[in-house]
Amino acid sequence: MYLYHTLNNGIRIIFSQNSSNVVYAGVYIGVGSRNEKSPAEEGIAHFIEHSIFKGTEHRRSYHIRNRIDGVGGELDAFTTKEETCVYASALSQHLERCLELFSDILFHSTFPQHEIEKEKDVVIEEINLYKDSPAELIYDDFEEMIFGRHPLAHNILGSKKNVKHFSSEQLSRFLHQNYTPDKMVISVVGNVEFKRLVHLCEKYFSHTDVQPNVKTDADDKVEYQRFNNTLNKRTHQVHLLAGCPAPTIYDEKKNAFTLLNNILGGPAMNSRLNVSVRENQGFCYTIESQYVPFTDAGLFYIYAGVDSDAAERSTQLILEELRRLREVKLSPQQLHSAQTQLIGQMAITNDSGLNEMQSIGKAYLNFDHVDTLEEMNRDILNVTPKELQAVAQEIFAEDKFSFLYYK
């Protein structure tokens, strides 16, 4: 059971009670790399995520770092295509400390130029690290190719050139235009009184004025590009990424497709791709599939790192597993086993207070409601063999797939 409250300025609060002496708190903001509206802005959402810790009207960077770390807690943040999240874990008695600091860095950051200059070097090294990781970089290249000129194609980290040119004024302008109360959710999981949580949120977040409803140009409709490309990266193994369009987060096919993805290439050792390509053939160490839904688009990926001599055969095996899901309906026993496995995985994931806080925060941001674990289990159990096969036939059609190889 989740508890909800909305502040007068539109900031929403979601809370889940547990018996832990650790509280997990975060602020989700519905702003990510897709909100960067010009080439010169690409990477700014992620750079702001770094820079809000560098100084406020009330604190220097040293004091921000030590505000949570000093009591044994952990403070962090991340940026995706569509969200930014600032979060902390600490003993329950330090909840107010966490919320007060969130408010300070989100609404009172000053982006001191001397600190920004140092942080540019940090982010540039993050970009360098990413470029040295082909198993991660290949996803960015794939998304740039499949989304074309759409904002979802943006690399979250941006370019070194852009990072070098970001200024305090530019960061402040983007933050104030985008970090508005209507786009914010405060998510908390812990053993605290909900009444006290609401009081603290009112104390530290209600001062922010309701923003006028400023209309912005909507993103262009997503138009997927199909391709089969090979890039010479001089890697020790071939990195293979196959992918296609997938349901959005609002699509009624999402539950069935989530189950399909888990059957095909989920984290369990008995996933079909793992058995076929790794266990039976020994072609790879890593093979997995991922389903990433956005608000108006979705992507499905299959990634494998294989020996160059096994790349062609591995691709054939992947296509064979996709064909099997299209053509062979699961038996009731197979479906029940797959449903039981996914329900167990979701329970284990939600058993972490941090995972639950992030999960419900993102869900509330997008849906203004969060299903309980029992409701999600019910949705998974309601998927039928016929529905599963129909979704496989629609999404896994071979002529919808694109391929990218690093060699």
Domain limits, the chain: 3-205, 228-406
Q: Is 246 exposed, middle or buried (0-12, 13-18, 19+ CB in 10 A)?
A: buried
Neighbours of 282 (CB within 10 A): 10
Q: What is the greatest pairwise CA distance in the chain?
A: 63
Kind and range of the H or E element at 289? Answer: strand 284-293
Mind listing the pLDDT tens digit for each residue in 261-293? 999 999 999 999 999 999 999 999 999 999 999
Q: In terms of Cα–Cα distance, which of 325, 344, 183 is closest to 244?
A: 325
Crossing angle for the helix pair 254-265 and 311-327, nearest 10 degrees? Answer: 140
Mind listing the pLDDT tens digit for each residue in 288-309? 999 999 999 999 999 999 999 9
Listed in sequence order, the residues at least 6 apart from 34 whose beta carbon sits closer than 8 Å to its beta carbon are 81, 82, 151, 152, 154, 219
Is this structure's pTM higher than 0.85?
A: yes
Neighbours of 201 (CB within 10 A): 22
Mind listing the pLDDT tens digit for each residue in 229-243? 999 998 999 999 999
pLDDT reading at 212 higher than 90: no
Question: Could you tell me which residues are beta bridge partners of residue 86?
Answer: 27, 77
Mind listing the pLDDT tens digit for each residue in 135-190? 999 999 999 999 999 999 999 999 999 999 999 999 999 999 999 999 999 999 99
Per-state percent for the chain, helix, strand, coil, to nearest 5? 50, 20, 30
Question: Could you tell me which residues are beta bridge partners of residue 291?
Answer: 300
Q: Does domain 228-406 have CATH number 3.30.830.10?
A: yes
Class of domain 3-205: alpha beta
Structure tokens at 99: 């919320």
Average pLDDT taken over every residue of the chain: 95
Calpha distance 157→323 (Å, rounded):
36
pLDDT on residue 283 = 94
Tell me the pLDDT band of 208, cut-offs 50, 70 and 90: confident
Angle, alpha carbons 66-67-68 (nearest 5°): 90
Strands of the sheet with 228-231, listed across from one edge: 228-231, 402-406, 238-245, 298-306, 284-293
